[in-house]
Structure 1
Amino acid sequence: MARIEIDGGDLVVTIEGLDKLWALKSRLTVPLTNVRGATVDPGIVKEPKGIRAPGAHLPGVITAGTFHRDGERVFWDVHDAAKAIVIELADERYARLVVEVEDPRTAVALIENALHRS
């Protein structure tokens, strides 16, 4: 699971628990100017992930780490599809962050509100 925060002009995604081990990351920081938007998207877990490098993928259990698909790099940290959000990025290492959060609607609202204020 991930925790979403806004710190000044940055979006901070903190990977919690053992997911740090599976995803090989503990924190991602992205300037809000490079965040295009966020959506609640439980269906995304059914889409092809691409090539895992590095990370873990056990269908129906966990998808965590970096995946390459169609020339894009996507970061995943999802156990429960119902709690998945997608954060679209521009001019960053990752094209998208797909993470599980405690309350998807609240996390998306936090991101979208920060984008409208910046």
Structure 2
Amino acid sequence: MISAVDIYDQKLVVRFVGWSRLWALKSQLSFPIENVLSATHDLGALPRRLGFRVLGTWIPKIITAGTFYWNKEWSVWNIRSGKNCVVIRLRNEKYSYLVLEVDDPSEIAARITAAISN
């Protein structure tokens, strides 16, 4: 696991685990659940371009972690293989979306979707 995603007190909390803290230059992010638009495990939902790395690490096909800027949108990435990714879209936040590698992306996406609909 390189990212842990939880929902506490109507907040989406993302923790960067292990070396991911160093690579992404972040340890935790938190967003009110009402600012979360969607969460999906659909790999087709991955943005086609990273953009410019502002903070973090990018080694092609090995690690993508940190803050990126492209097409007037800020994003946070924390992935290695890209297979177990969840894409979380946000509104009214600095970041437009998060791309995170997690242990069970389908379960995380389902939990976030359930929290959004409540």
Q: Percent identity?
A: 39
Number of aligned residue pairs: 116
Whether 1:60 and 2:70 are equivalent positions in the alignment is no
SS at match of 2:103: coil
Unaligned residue ranges in structure 2 (runs of 5+): none
Q: CA deviation at 1:41?
A: 3.2
Unaligned residue ranges in structure 1 (runs of 5+): none
Tell me the TM-score normalized by structure 2: 0.94
SS at match of 1:92: coil
Q: CA deviation at 1:80?
A: 1.9
Tell me the residue number matched to 1:82: 83
Deviating 4+ runs (over 6 angstroms): none
- Partner deviation per Cα, 1:53-106 (whole Å, 9 max, x = no partner): 011111111100000000100000000211011000000010001100000100
Q: CA deviation at 1:42?
A: 3.0
Tell me the residue number matched to 2:101: 100
Tell me the TM-score normalized by structure 1: 0.94
In 2, the alpha carbon distance for the partners of 1:66 and 1:5 equals: 20
Tell me the residue number matched to 1:28: 29
SS at match of 1:81: coil
Whether 1:111 and 2:112 are equivalent positions in the alignment is yes
**Structure ranking higher in helix proportion:** 1
In 2, the alpha carbon distance for the partners of 1:40 and 1:20 equals: 23
In 1, the alpha carbon distance for the partners of 2:7 and 2:65 equals: 22
Q: CA deviation at 1:116?
A: 1.1
Whether 1:7 and 2:8 are equivalent positions in the alignment is yes
Letter of the structure 2 residue corresponding to residue 63 of structure 1 = T
Q: CA deviation at 1:8?
A: 1.0
Whether 1:37 and 2:32 are equivalent positions in the alignment is no
